[in-house]
Structure 1
Amino acid sequence: MDKYYEAISLFRRRNYEKCVEVCNTLLQIGQENNTQIFTEDNEHNDNNKFQKKTVKVNVPCPVWMIEGVWQLKMRALTQRVYIDELDTNENGEENEEIEFERIATAARPGTSIKTAFQPRPSTGLLANGRLKTGRRGTVTAGGGRPMTGMLRPGTSSSRPGTGLGRPPSRCGTARRVRMTSAAAFGIGDKTSSFFQAARLNPTIYAERPTVTKALFLFLYYHEGDVEKAYTLCDAVEKVNKGKTDWWWEQQLGRCLLALNKPRKAEEYLLKAKDSFQHPDTVILLSKVYLKLEEPLEGLKALDEALNKNPNDVCLLIHKGRIYEQMENVLESVAIYRTITTLDPINAEALACIAVNHFYSHQPELALLYYRRILSLGAHSAEVYCNIGLCCLYGGQIDLVLPCFQRAIQMAETSEQKADIWYNFSFVALTTGDYTLAKRCLRLCLSSDPTNAAALNNLAILCVQFGDMVKAKAYINQAKTISPDLPEIKCNVKLMEKSYKI
């Protein structure tokens, strides 16, 4: 029993690794016969006194404890890789599919909600939170812009576990992050998988309400098996003859949305909303309408919920994201400012306001917000890169290089490095150091060979140096990667007309 309570204590302290190890030990004991030693006063001596006799009996571990340990381990494995997809910044097209085969370490606090699970904009030119096509008829070498991969610490003070200090909750592939440990009821082989989802009979577990919710979360978040999780939800509904509570209806809608069936998801989410108006249900319903390309319906659902809970930061965040996706920058910024009054440490709202100031030619005000984000403890490569750009536009040249040096040191992924080197190439162009700019663009391509903006700018620099052969090679490669990019089309025409290449 002490080990069982120790595992519960470790789970509550969010020490999931050690909790799983203790659960493994208990499950292993459950498979074997536990020799229990106790005494029995069944003999007496000549003085008519009872004598204690030691007896050894093989007593199996109680079934309720085995089931409790199994459920606890399942919850620990789920929390170990759990990510609140409602706090991520999907757009309407990639909505709620949350890429079970590829999930970023942490979502960024958003310069545009259109780029959360899509490749980075290749032009590198943004204006007022949306893509900018560039100046037509001129050869453009790109421009510096805030990066789009900044850490999104939490977007709601009402949802537990999403605060600023929350560590990245998932990295890489859901299937790859599995905790390879003991099997379901404790075969002590650490190389085997915990649960054979393919062999799961949902009907059997649907009749056991004590484990169904934990099992669903395990299948959905840890295993990434949405179809099996949906089958379990459907089995629970059939067992209860359609009289399930709002939570299961919400999960049915969540699974159907992930399976790209928004119309069916809408039915279940509306039922769940009528039963109990939970913020997550409303947010999922708004995502359904975004999937159906009906953002006004999504705003209507959020407004109805905000009429009852006007200070719900999570609902306001999603409303601001929808306005941002609709390119209604004024409304989105107004909502983010309201959020900062309700939650002054909301890093997403601060970052979005900072980006708006940056593209409104107010780098000094943007710098204040980025420094505020730093003071909250959100140190990341993207924040330092954006601070460097604000210092460049604000005339604080002496701070630009240290900020970019810190950003490069903190960059972990190749995409981050490519973004930083691309922005630093613009710093070099601003100072007139074309050689340094060329080196930076090459370093950018070494991290991301498919960066069309870097190829485009490198072709222009080669024209400046008189190397027409390389310029032609770079611009053709950029055209191959992004044939519909207006800047590349314009530059190709100008090069063919002016330089005959």
Structure 2
Amino acid sequence: MDPLFLAYSCYRRKKYQECTDICTELLEKNPYDQASWTLKTRALTAQVYVDEVDVDEEGIAEMLMDDNSIAQVSRPGTSLKQPGTGHGGPSQGVRPMSQSGRPLSGFTRPGTQGGRPGTMEQAIRTPRTAHTARPVTSASGRYVRLGTASMLSTPDGPFINLGRLNFTKYASRQNLAKSLFEYIFHHENDVRNALELAALATEACQFKDWWWKVQLAKCYYRLGMFRDSEQQLKSALKQQDMVDPYLYLCKVYLRLDQPLTAVEVYKQGLDKFQGETTLLTGIARIYEGLNEMENAVKFYKDVLMYDSMHVEAIACIATHHFYTDQPEVALKFYRYCPILHFMFMTLRSY
């Protein structure tokens, strides 16, 4: 069997280490084999790849050193840092709240495991929750751990010496530039070199490729340049309507603490992609963070219209009914999903 074909087969079956080993042997025989070089970069990237649309939790450093706030005191219902009282309806029980005043979600996701301390003293004294055995670390720490994982995947040293690369040369070759960018950004965690390559590639394609603009926005976001990221994403959406730019743009607005603007962007995306569950879930999460549970449940139910086994929507709706003194309704939702069987058995004891 052709070794390159076997390497492609391993990559499709997600056997990334085997794919990397085969490509390494091919490159030892022919260092100029572009197909093997590109496939190896993709395999190494896939080993440490993390989808950044959902996974983004603010740690203590981001909370206390946030200089993007416009107003110290925001109007009720317009900030995730100071959620309002909400419209959850009457309840005889008390729904558990985080330190920032948000109701605990029925589904664990980034941003729901800890509160948002206002001072360093509060951050140090923050008690550890039942969901995690340690305080929530910053996003920068996660990137460092990803960089450590990438070094462990290449014990013989880095596959590509970034200091010796001619980025201008690679930027003009689109068939190599995209896989190289993902390798630098995800595997090597070198945002500045990734930004340089993305800027040169955007210029090389005469600013007509929306994909490169999204990558520029991701680099700007990682560097804390949120307004520059916003401009790149808006420019990408003018060229091509895709779901990812809408999700990243809403992520920028949430980091700027503009949840209502994010909701508007999500709804603009729904006009183009009707029934897209990721956009509907994003709106529901914002309303849940603002403590507007009725609106959150409405959009979670819309999610279930298009994806009847969406675990997050089922769990959040069931949790809402449970804390509004409707445990029998919560049981019906927990029955739908086998993953939530444990919660179903727990509620039967009430």
TM-score class, shorter-chain normalisation, is 0.7 to 0.9
Structure 1's unaligned 5+ residue stretches are 32-62, 96-109, 123-144, 150-169, 183-189, 395-501
* Cα separation, partners in 2 of 1:282 and 1:256, compared to 1, 3 Å: same
**Is 2:334–2:344's contact at 8 Å kept on the other side of the alignment?**
yes
Q: Which residue of 1 aligns with 2:258?
A: 294
Q: Which residue of 1 aligns with 2:105?
A: 111
Residue-by-residue CA offset, 1:272-314 (whole Å, 9 max, x unaligned): 0010111110111112222222222211111112122221111
Q: Which residue of 1 aligns with 2:299?
A: 335
Asked whether 1:390 is paired with 2:341, we answer no
**Is 1:237–1:244's contact at 8 Å kept on the other side of the alignment?**
yes
* Cα separation, partners in 2 of 1:90 and 1:361, compared to 1, 3 Å: farther
Residue-by-residue CA offset, 1:207-227 (whole Å, 9 max, x unaligned): 221111111111222222222
Which stretches of structure 1, 4 residues or more, deviate above 4 A after TM superposition? 89-95, 112-115, 145-149, 179-182, 386-389
Amino acid in the other structure paired with 1:19: C
Q: Which residue of 2 aligns with 1:13?
A: 13
Asked whether 1:239 is paired with 2:204, we answer yes
Instruction: Measure, in 2, the Cα distance between the counterparts of 1:89 and 1:322.
Output: 14
Asked whether 1:174 is paired with 2:137, we answer no
Amino acid in the other structure paired with 1:120: G
Amino acid in the other structure paired with 1:22: I
Structure 2's unaligned 5+ residue stretches are 64-103, 117-128, 134-141
Q: 1:76 aligns with which of 31, 43, 49?
A: 43
Instruction: Measure, in 2, the Cα distance between the counterparts of 1:364 and 1:72.
Output: 53
Q: Which residue of 1 aligns with 2:333?
A: 369
Secondary structure of residue in 1 paired with 2:254 = helix
Q: Which residue of 1 aligns with 2:231?
A: 267
Instruction: Measure, in 2, the Cα distance between the counterparts of 1:175 and 1:88.
Output: 16
TM-score by length of 2: 0.73
* Cα separation, partners in 2 of 1:342 and 1:181, compared to 1, 3 Å: closer
Residue-by-residue CA offset, 1:181-233 (whole Å, 9 max, x unaligned): 67xxxxxxx52222233444422321221111111111222222222211111
**Is 2:106–2:315's contact at 8 Å kept on the other side of the alignment?**
no
**Is 1:111–1:352's contact at 8 Å kept on the other side of the alignment?**
yes
Instruction: Measure, in 2, the Cα distance between the counterparts of 1:193 and 1:252.
Output: 24
- Cα distance, 1:364 vs. partner? 3.8
Q: 1:221 aligns with which of 186, 192, 213?
A: 186
Amino acid in the other structure paired with 1:76: A
* Cα separation, partners in 2 of 1:368 and 1:118, compared to 1, 3 Å: closer
Q: Which residue of 2 aligns with 1:472?
A: none
Whose strand proportion is higher, 1 or 2?
1
**Is 1:7–1:22's contact at 8 Å kept on the other side of the alignment?**
yes
Secondary structure of residue in 2 paired with 1:193 = coil
Written as runs of structure 1 = structure 2, the 5 A alignment for 1:414-425 is: none
**Is 1:247–1:272's contact at 8 Å kept on the other side of the alignment?**
yes
Q: Which residue of 2 aligns with 1:138?
A: none
Residue-by-residue CA offset, 1:322-376 (whole Å, 9 max, x unaligned): 2122221111111111111210111111121122123223334334433433x2x
Written as runs of structure 1 = structure 2, the 5 A alignment for 1:394-473 is: 394=350
Instruction: Measure, in 2, the Cα distance between the counterparts of 1:359 and 1:198.
Output: 56
Q: Which residue of 2 aligns with 1:415?
A: none
Identity of aligned residues (%): 33
Instruction: Measure, in 2, the Cα distance between the counterparts of 1:368 and 1:198.
Output: 58
Q: Which has the higher contact order (CA 8 A, sep 6+)?
A: 2
Instruction: Measure, in 2, the Cα distance between the counterparts of 1:246 and 1:86.
Output: 17
**Is 1:253–1:266's contact at 8 Å kept on the other side of the alignment?**
yes
- Cα distance, 1:319 vs. partner? 1.3
**Is 1:181–1:191's contact at 8 Å kept on the other side of the alignment?**
no
Amino acid in the other structure paired with 2:19: C
Q: Which residue of 2 aligns with 1:352?
A: 316
Between Structure 1 and Structure 2, whose CA radius of gyration is higher? 1
Q: Which residue of 2 aligns with 1:22?
A: 22
Provide the alpha-carbon RMSD of the alignment: 3.4
Instruction: Measure, in 2, the Cα distance between the counterparts of 1:331 and 1:148.
Output: 29
Secondary structure of residue in 1 paired with 2:308 = coil
* Cα separation, partners in 2 of 1:371 and 1:120, compared to 1, 3 Å: farther
Instruction: Measure, in 1, the Cα distance between the counterparts of 2:312 and 2:143.
Output: 20
Residue-by-residue CA offset, 1:138-159 (whole Å, 9 max, x unaligned): xxxxxxx99599xxxxxxxxxx
Range 192-201 or range 84-93, more displaced: 84-93
Written as runs of structure 1 = structure 2, the 5 A alignment for 1:26-45 is: 26-31=26-31
* Cα separation, partners in 2 of 1:290 and 1:117, compared to 1, 3 Å: closer
Q: Which residue of 1 aligns with 2:123?
A: none
TM-score by length of 1: 0.52
Secondary structure of residue in 2 paired with 1:244 = coil
